[in-house]
């Protein structure tokens, strides 16, 4: 199923990128950039749904590979900067100096999780800022434990609903206006 969904969408993204390299009017370039952004967002949603299916089936395999933490998180900020700036929000990344840059783990899954959390923060924040804070929690000879916090000035989740936060496919319909319903949390 993933091949049937991803292949045509990757075709749209690829041909959009090729067309962006040609001579275009500013309006055409703007339209193509919107197409590319929208297609990439749709691809991310498809990947999330497919990964959720794998997770539910116990078939999601996490990688354990070396990767540069800072540039991995910088990519998330770069990806979401346009959305946050469109809403007039400030998006910041603060990695404490004692956090090692080279770590071992699954960079794709880390990006996926942070992208979903920050994406929801953008959707539910009308003004102010969204801050990504990365701190070292523990360090041993072979492992480092880090904590990533997403802080925003959004409406928050009422305390009475927080216990349901990680239940699959729940949304706080009665709490949030319909225009604020967002995929990504499955809440």
CA–CA dist 154, 166 (Å, integer): 19
SS (HEC) of 92-104:
EEEECCCCCCEEE
Question: Tens digit of pLDDT for each residue in 4-61?
Answer: 888 888 899 999 999 999 999 999 999 999 999 889 888 888 888 888 888 888 888 8
Alpha-carbon distances of 86 from 34, 37, 40, 68, 81, rounded to whole Å: 13, 13, 17, 29, 8
| Per-residue pLDDT tens over the stretch 134-180 | 999 988 888 889 999 999 998 888 888 888 877 765 554 444 444 44
- Looking at residue 1, its pLDDT comes to 59
Residue 52 φ/ψ, nearest 5 degrees? -60, -40
Q: What pLDDT, in 10s, does the model give residues 87-107?
A: 999 999 999 999 999 999 999
Q: How far apart are alpha carbons 47 and 156 in whole angstroms?
A: 26
- The single residue listed with the structure tokens 């949030």 is 176
Through-space distance between the first and last CA atoms of the chain, rounded to whole angstroms: 25
Fold classification of 65-156 is: Heat Shock Protein 90 (3.30.565)
Contacts of 110 (CB under 8 A, 6+ apart): 72, 73
Rounded to an integer, what distance in angstroms lies between the CA atom of residue 160 and that of residue 128?
25
3-state secondary structure of 148: strand
Q: Using one digit for the tens of pLDDT, what is the confidence trace for 100-128?
A: 999 999 999 999 999 989 999 999 999 99
- 130 versus 47: the higher-pLDDT residue is 130
pTM of the predicted protein model: 0.73
């Amino acid at each position: 199923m993933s091949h049937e969904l991803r292949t045509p969408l990757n075709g749209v993204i690829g041909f959009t990128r090729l067309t962006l390299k040609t001579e275009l009017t500013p309006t055409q370039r703007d339209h193509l950039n919107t197409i590319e952004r929208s297609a990439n967002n749709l691809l991310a949603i498809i990947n999330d749904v497919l990964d959720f299916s794998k997770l539910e089936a116990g078939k999601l395999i996490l990688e354990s590979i070396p990767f540069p933490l800072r540039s991995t998180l910088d990519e998330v900020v770069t990806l979401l900067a346009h959305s946050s700036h469109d809403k007039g929000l400030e998006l910041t990344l603060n990695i404490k100096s004692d956090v090692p840059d080279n770590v071992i783990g699954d960079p794709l899954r880390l990006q996926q999780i942070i992208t979903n959390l920050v994406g929801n923060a953008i959707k539910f924040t009308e003004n102010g800022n969204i801050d990504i804070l990365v701190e070292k929690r523990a360090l041993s000879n072979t492992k480092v434990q880090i904590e990533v916090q997403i802080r925003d000035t959004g409406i928050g989740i009422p305390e009475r609903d927080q216990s349901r936060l990680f239940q699959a496919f729940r949304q706080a319909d009665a709490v949030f206006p319909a225009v604020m319903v967002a995929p990504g949390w499955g809440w």
